[in-house]
Amino acid sequence: MTAPITPVILCGGSGTRLWPLSRKSYPKQFVSMIGEGSLFQQSAIRCSGQMFAAPVVVTNSDFRFIVTQQLADVGIDPGKVLIEPEARNTAPALLAAALVVAGDDPDALILAAPSDHYIEEVDTFRATVTRGIEAAEAGRIVTFGIRPDRAETGYGYLELDAASGSAETIPLRRFVEKPELKHAREMLATGSFMWNSGIFLYSAAVLIAAFETHAPEILAQVRTAVSGATPDLGFLRLAPEPWSGCADISIDYAIMEKSDRLSVAVHEGDWSDLGGWESVRQHSDADSQGLVITGPVTAVDCVNTLLRAEAGGQHLVGLGLRDIVAIAMPDAVLVADRNRVHDVGTLVRTLRNEGVAQADTFPKDHRPWGFFETLILGERFQVKRIVVNPGAALSLQSHVHRAEHWIVVQGTARVTVDNEIRLVSENQSVFIPLGAVHRMENPGKVPMELIEVQTGIYLGEDDIIRYEDVYARGQGARG
């Protein structure tokens, strides 16, 4: 029996084209976009079971606890989680994972997969992976091609060498960049071009050898970053100095477009990279008028329209809309013509240039202990809802500019204020004076929820001094 395949799941992207639901602080891979669970959870489930080993996840420091929590929520062992000191694109990330896997078994097969793709038919996907195993074990790099059903200009293409190959895989003739519409139509008509999914199957040793041949300078930097990596609460932090010296380059440009060892396994099932709101609409269940609704929405006489509301206590109403996308969040609303949603990424850059916080910051801030969200923000006060997971604890901390008042509305909190420790139950409250050293813990078995009222001259998240922290976050707003 073939040894289990090690999935390498990349989840460090920002996904701005699905703003405002996806933002830099909480991108699309962690959001419940279509189907059950987040796209990251769906990716992990697809790559689990008898034919797969525990995954290797490559992410950044801000997302590391989200990764482990979301995997735990679907019952998947997180395996190794590599922390990138900074984003350097897919080539260094996949090479780092290959070096780590090769440390245990150089011949181990790796399935490299983004965390933000939507693939509905799991069994069909696993069958495609199985068809690529023989070629990967023979030293080939197998890329997955998606049979196109339209002349799409948003994807790269793979041209197959139809004159050779096996029933399982076909040699790749060449990559084609995102084409103009006329060229896309011509390629679709030939039947020998597939969409490039960005999913690959190879052995660890083969990928490392490809870097030795085509990108030795990247291999040298990444090898040093991996050898200098430090354990951190079960994570593996790659060494920052050599990592920063890596080229910011995709695996396609660094290796795949140069290698002569590529084969294609054609995936016949549904697939999308969910690159924008129109992709979400196309892959969602629409009614006979092409209307897709999610959340508390009422639509009257709306055609070919996507309406999505995410906030509790909010109701989105569409009346007589044609070809519209409307996404309502608690702090931002997008209303766009369907034909312009490909410009959402550009719009986000405009918001950043204007200093709009909603460009990157999500209203719900996820932390390793749970999450908080701002309910009201005034000039000298802020009201937050805070949810702490069972057994979790915030850091022992103090503030220079604000005092806090906590009211428990669900569960029980163990509260430290200077030298006093006490339990605060539902409908009870506690005051945290300015400068007091304090901590909040959830000693129970259910989530603990409280309302926090802050008052002071400055209410920023960076007004925090940490003295102890079970998550080793250091100082700063997120650590």
Query: Which amino acid, residue 271?
Result: W
Q: pLDDT tens digit string along 236-260? A: 999 999 999 999 999 999 999 999 9
Say whether both 261 and 309 belong to one domain: no
Burial 288-318 (b: 16+ CB within 10 A, else e): eebbbbbeebebeebebbbbbbbeeeeebeb
Q: pLDDT tens digit string along 447-465? A: 999 999 999 999 998 899 9
- pLDDT for residue 478: 58
User: Domain for residue 1, yes or no?
Assistant: no
User: Domain for residue 478, yes or no?
Assistant: no
User: Domain for residue 479, yes or no?
Assistant: no
Q: Is the pLDDT of residue 1 over 80?
A: no
Say whether both 317 and 451 belong to one domain: no
Give the orientation angle of helix 204-214 with respect to helix 90-102, to 10 degrees.
130
Q: Average per-residue pLDDT in the chain?
A: 92
Last residue of a domain, one of 290, 320, 354: 354
Say whether both 248 and 283 belong to one domain: no
Q: Is the pLDDT of residue 215 over 80?
A: yes
Say whether both 12 and 155 belong to one domain: yes
Strands 170-176, 230-232: pairing is unpaired
Least confident of 40-44, 364-368, 471-475: 471-475
Last residue of a domain, one of 335, 354, 373: 354
- pLDDT for residue 126: 95
Q: How many domains does the chain have?
A: 3
Q: pLDDT tens digit string along 168-195? A: 899 898 888 888 899 999 989 998 899 9
User: Domain for residue 475, yes or no?
Assistant: no
Three-state DSSP state, 73: helix
Say whether both 66 and 127 belong to one domain: yes
Cα 396 to Cα 25, 101, 301, 437, 451: the distances in Å are 24, 37, 55, 7, 19
User: Domain for residue 272, yes or no?
Assistant: no
Q: Is the pLDDT of residue 163 over 70?
A: no
- pLDDT for residue 477: 60
- pLDDT for residue 479: 46
Q: Is the pLDDT of residue 475 over 80?
A: no
Q: CATH number, domain at 442?
A: 2.60.120.10
Provide, rounded to the nearest whole percent, the portion of the chain with pLDDT above 90: 76
Q: pLDDT tens digit string along 40-88? A: 999 999 999 999 999 999 999 889 989 999 999 999 988 899 999 999 9
Give the orientation angle of helix 216-227 with respect to helix 90-102, to 10 degrees.
60
Last residue of a domain, one of 354, 385, 414: 354
Q: Is the pLDDT of residue 162 over 80?
A: no
User: Domain for residue 125, yes or no?
Assistant: yes
Say whether both 407 and 433 belong to one domain: yes
Q: Is the pLDDT of residue 165 over 60?
A: no
The mean pLDDT of 251-271, rounded to a whole number, is 92
Domain that includes residue 152, residue range: 6-266
Say whether both 125 and 184 belong to one domain: yes
Residue by residue, DSSP assigns 29-61 as: GGS--SSSS-HHHHHHHHT-STTB---EEEEEG
Residue 15 binned pLDDT confidence (cut-offs 50, 70, 90)? confident
The H or E element containing residue 300 is strand 297-300
Say whether both 237 and 340 belong to one domain: no
Q: Is the pLDDT of residue 312 over 80?
A: no
Q: pLDDT tens digit string along 109-127? A: 999 999 999 998 999 999 9
Residues in CB range of 51: below 8 A, 6 or more apart: 2, 4, 5, 126, 129, 130
* Rounded distance between C-alpha atoms, residue 334 and residue 309, angstroms: 11
Closest Cα partner for 79 from 125, 116, 110? 110
User: Domain for residue 71, yes or no?
Assistant: yes
Say whether both 136 and 283 belong to one domain: no
Say whether both 262 and 290 belong to one domain: no
Q: Taking a C-beta distance cutoff of 8 angstroms, is the pair 300, 318 a contact?
A: yes
Q: What are phi and psi of 113, to 5 degrees?
A: -140, 135
Say whether both 226 and 84 belong to one domain: yes
User: Domain for residue 240, yes or no?
Assistant: yes
Residue 341, both tokens? 């949603």
Say whether both 141 and 195 belong to one domain: yes
The mean pLDDT of 282-301, rounded to a whole number, is 94
